[in-house]
C-alpha cells in the first residue's frame, strides 16, 4: 500500500511503501513512518552527543595537560583511549533503541560479547604494548579509571534519551518551525 500525507514534508512523511505489521495482542500498527521518526530522533540526538564529545575532546586536547597534570603524550593517549571506550560503551546503547534496559538478554548474544571483548582487549594491547604502532604511552590505573568513567557517561545519557517522546513529525521539523518563526521576527523589524 502506498501512503502519502498531503502537506507534510520531511524524512518521516515521505511517500513510501507501508510496512504495517500488527503487534500481537495490541492491534496497533507500526509503519516505516514511525520507525523513520524514531530513527531520525535517535540520529539527531546522537549527533548532539557526538558534538558534545568532540567539544570535550578539544577541551582535553588544550587543557588536559593542566587538568590531569600530565605531559602531552599521556594527554593524547587519554584522549584516544577515552574516544575508543566511548564507542565501546555506546555500542550497548545502540543494541536496543526502544528499550531502557539495554543489558537484558545480553548474555545470550555471544557474538556481541565477543566483539566487545575483542575490542577492549585490542584497545588495552594498543595502549599498553603497541606504543610505537599506536603512538601511545602506558597509562596507570587511575588514568584508565578516568577514561572508563568518562566513557561510561554514555550509558545514562542513552537511558535519558530513550525517555524523550517521539512525535509523528521528524525531530528536525521542530527546528525548521523555529527557524521559520525566527525568520518572520527578523522580517518584522
pLDDT of residue 177: 61
pLDDT of residue 50: 78
The whole model's pTM is what?
Answer: 0.64
For residue 110, what is its C-alpha cell?
Answer: 555471544
Averaged pLDDT in 10-residue chunks for the chain of 189 residues: 40 33 39 65 75 82 88 92 90 76 86 94 94 91 94 84 68 60 62
pLDDT of residue 130: 92
Can you tell me whether residue 21 is helix, strand or coil? strand
The sign of the dihedral angle between the CA atoms of 158, 160, 162, 167 is negative
Residues 6+ apart with CB under 8 A from 163: 100
Q: Is 140 left (phi over 0), alpha (psi -120 to 50) or beta?
A: beta
Amino acid at each position: 500500500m502506498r501512503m502519502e500525507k498531503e502537506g507534510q514534508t520531511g524524512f518521516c512523511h515521505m511517500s513510501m511503501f507501508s510496512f504495517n505489521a500488527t503487534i500481537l495482542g495490541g492491534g496497533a500498527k507500526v509503519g516505516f513512518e514511525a520507525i523513520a521518526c524514531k530513527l531520525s530522533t535517535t540520529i539527531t540526538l546522537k549527533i548532539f552527543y557526538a558534538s558534545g564529545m568532540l567539544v570535550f575532546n578539544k577541551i582535553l586536547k588544550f587543557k588536559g595537560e593542566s587538568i590531569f597534570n600530565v605531559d602531552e603524550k599521556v594527554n593524547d593517549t587519554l584522549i584516544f583511549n577515552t574516544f575508543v571506550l566511548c564507542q565501546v560503551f555506546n555500542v550497548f546503547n545502540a543494541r536496543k533503541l526502544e528499550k531502557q534496559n539495554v543489558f537484558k538478554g545480553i548474555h545470550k548474544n555471544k557474538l556481541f560479547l565477543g566483539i566487545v571483548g575483542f575490542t577492549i582487549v585490542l584497545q588495552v594491547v594498543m595502549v599498553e604494548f603497541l606504543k610505537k604502532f599506536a603512538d601511545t604511552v602506558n597509562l596507570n590505573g587511575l588514568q584508565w579509571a578516568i577514561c572508563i568513567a568518562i566513557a561510561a557517561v554514555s550509558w545514562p545519557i542513552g537511558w535519558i534519551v530513550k525517555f524523550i517522546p517521539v512525535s509523528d513529525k521528524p525531530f528536525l521539523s521542530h527546528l525548521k518551525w523555529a527557524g521559520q518563526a525566527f525568520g518572520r521576527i527578523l522580517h518584522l523589524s
